[in-house]
Amino acid sequence: MQTSDYQRLDRAHHLHPFTDFKALGEEGSRIIERGEGVYIIDSEGNRILDGMAGLWCVNLGYGREELVEAATAQMRQLPYYNNFFKTTHPPAVKLAETLCRLAPPHINRVFFTGSGSEANDTVLRMVRRYWALKGQPEKQWVIGRENAYHGSTVAGLSLGGMAPMHEQGGPLVPKIAHVRQPWWFGEGRFGEGRSEGQDPETFGRECAAALEAKILELGEENVAAFIAEPVQGAGGAIIPPASYWPAVKAVLAKYDILLVADEVICGFGRLGEWFGSVHYGLEPDLMPIAKGLSSGYLPIGGVLVGDRVADTLIEEGGEFFHGFTYSGHPTCAAVAQRNLELMEAEGVVERVRDDLGPYLAQRWQALAKHPLVGEARSLGLIGALELIDPATGERFDKALAVGNLCRDLCFASGLVMRSVGDTMIISPPLVISHAEIDELVDKARAALDATLARLADTTTDQQEETSA
């Protein structure tokens, strides 16, 4: 089969996730055939540096034989069995133990799911169930954040705060509210009258104050939990100002509201700690996980449940009517276990914290001098560039879709860098080398140059049209 054969069949039969089906059909998909280390190789033989680790998940990179072997061995032994009805199997038990050893000390239980979305569905049921058992059944509201991503099931998208998602296929799950996100560049520095001229730290405290105002508006006796990612990933690699998390923690403690830290992206080394919550000292009650748990080699997720909630569910809950056919799937669990063992043996997390994170930060900051870039930020191995119009120093008109242009030019130059509006984001595999970081930054710069050139062409064309 040739590229064009795959594209024809893809167009005929395949509805892609988060895709304008018709537009993609006209354009044709890029066919990815192989992966090696931090590179993917397409059906035309192009070797592309995967600056997104697939979808924030291929943390150990492509082609790890150890993970292939772990899957093969487990499939021979017991490809599938469930964890319902008083049964389990060695891979699920071992993985549960490993996860709870790596998690903060107050977290000693895990509930397995097949994905991050299912993990957040589980979270919603658990927090409401917890308060019902505590004799406060009216504590049902969950507060999330605008522009947050918590998955694509109905509960996931309701907890998330992405307006375009909310507009499709509603109504959403009731009793979920959203407060502003701590995105200083977009809503502080360039906010619509929100916090103009403020410094990031004041802005961070203001976001925490917005959470408190929402709690008071709903009634503290009605609010079950607050859900947020330590660093917002899909929303645009939003690293909150230093003032944000301590202020949020204080608000939640004041009103006795559970904290859910969505670790689906930040977990497993992305921020240079095993969990993003550890980096920020969050001590959350629940931590949904997925993605990097298996380095994306097989689908698996879960919820790490802190003692406060777990003890109540165990001691007072009776049967919890919840679970998935693939909760703790043995082959997926065996691969996740091997993935975590390799990460420990190779010191991957420490390397991100002490070496790769600081190295990326230094190289990435150099891009802040590019005329198209208004801000360059990174933490561990997650980073973002905020694009601005060099002519005005303001943000571009959204309709120009400059971010998408830059992303397409990036792909053409051999780098996957994603765009969220006019925010360019990266989240490379955690095994990337210094030389590969250099290549990533050089290719990102080349794509920025190409974007600038393309914009200049368009402006010249427009001027010529006007004068003609």
Binding residues (CB under 6 A) for ligand PLP: these are: 115-117, 120, 149-151, 229, 233-234, 262, 264-265, 290-291, 301
Q: Which residue is nearest to ligand PLP (CB)?
A: 116
Choose among 286, 349, 292: nearest CA to 110: 286
Q: Which residues pair with 301 in a beta bridge?
A: 113
- Measured from the CB atom, the residue of 149 and 396 that comes closer to ligand PLP is 149
Choose among 93, 110, 119: nearest CA to 333: 93
Q: First CA to last CA across the chain, in angstroms?
A: 48
Provide the b/e sequence for 312-328 (b: ≥16 CB within 10 Å). Answer: bbeeeeeeeeebbebbb
- Measured from the CB atom, the residue of 182 and 233 that comes closer to ligand PLP is 233
- Measured from the CB atom, the residue of 115 and 140 that comes closer to ligand PLP is 115
Query: How far apart are CB 262 and ligand PLP at their closest, in Å?
Result: 4
- Measured from the CB atom, the residue of 55 and 93 that comes closer to ligand PLP is 55
Length of the chain (residues): 468
Please tell me whether residue 19 adopts helix, strand or coil conformation: coil
**The tokens of 444 are what?**
């990102």
**Quick check: 360 and 326 in contact, CB under 8 A?**
no
Query: How far apart are CB 383 and ligand PLP at their closest, in Å?
Result: 16
For residue 17, is the peptide bond before it cis, meaning its omega torsion is within 30 degrees of 0?
no
DSSP letters for 238-293 = B---TTHHHHHHHHHHHTT-EEEE--TTTTTTTTSSSSHHHHHT---SEEEE-GGG
- Measured from the CB atom, the residue of 126 and 265 that comes closer to ligand PLP is 265
Q: How far apart are CA 305 and CA 126, in angstroms?
A: 9
Query: How far apart are CB 208 and ligand PLP at their closest, in Å?
Result: 20
Query: How far apart are CB 330 and ligand PLP at their closest, in Å?
Result: 19
- Measured from the CB atom, the residue of 290 and 349 that comes closer to ligand PLP is 290
- Measured from the CB atom, the residue of 120 and 331 that comes closer to ligand PLP is 120
Query: How far apart are CB 244 and ligand PLP at their closest, in Å?
Result: 17
Query: How far apart are CB 321 and ligand PLP at their closest, in Å?
Result: 21
- Measured from the CB atom, the residue of 150 and 329 that comes closer to ligand PLP is 150
Chain mean position to CA 155: 17
**Quick check: 155 and 188 in contact, CB under 8 A?**
no
Query: How far apart are CB 229 and ligand PLP at their closest, in Å?
Result: 5
Query: How far apart are CB 17 and ligand PLP at their closest, in Å?
Result: 9
Query: How far apart are CB 265 and ligand PLP at their closest, in Å?
Result: 4
Provide the b/e sequence for 22-53 (b: ≥16 CB within 10 Å). Answer: eebbeeebebeeebebbbbebbeeeebbbbbb
Q: How far apart are CA 184 and CA 182, in angstroms?
A: 6
- Measured from the CB atom, the residue of 113 and 451 that comes closer to ligand PLP is 113
Query: How far apart are CB 456 and ligand PLP at their closest, in Å?
Result: 35
**The tokens of 373 are what?**
């870039």
Choose among 353, 345, 385, 346: nearest CA to 369: 385
- Measured from the CB atom, the residue of 53 and 309 that comes closer to ligand PLP is 53
